[in-house]
Amino acid sequence: MKFSSDLEQQLHGYGLTTAHILYRIPDFESVLQSCVWQHYDVAPEFPEMRRFLNFWQQTLDGPLHSIRYTHRRLIGPNEWRQIDGEFDLH
């Protein structure tokens, strides 16, 4: 599903997901490198993060070691209200 804005994504249940990825450097298997990935995603399925990790495993050479992630919904449909009027203060 395509959304026209970040706000529209948030109203449809998307929240900000941040993943801290540790992976091994291909030439030096004992050395770990870190990567931080951040995107709007839907919990608990996390389709965007799964798509990224599948891309990583199929395309990149560094094997994954571990992944820690956090997810936070920033706004929900019950927190959104339409404004009917506006006051101008001088």
- The predicted model scores a pTM of 0.76
Q: What pLDDT, in 10s, does the model give residues 37-66? A: 999 999 999 999 999 999 999 999 999 999
CB atoms within 10 A of CB 33: 12
90 pLDDT tier (thresholds 50, 70, 90): low
At 5 the pLDDT is: 83
DSSP structural state of residue 64: E
Number of domains in the chain: 1
Structural domain contains residue 49: yes
Range of the domain at 35: 6-72
Q: Where are the alpha helices (DSSP H) in the chain?
A: 6-11, 47-59
Give dist(CA 89, CA 69) in Å, integer.
44
Q: How far lies 81's CA from each of 11, 74, 84, 85, in Å?
A: 11, 15, 9, 12
13, part of any domain: yes
81 part of a folded domain? no
The per-residue pLDDT for 11 is 79
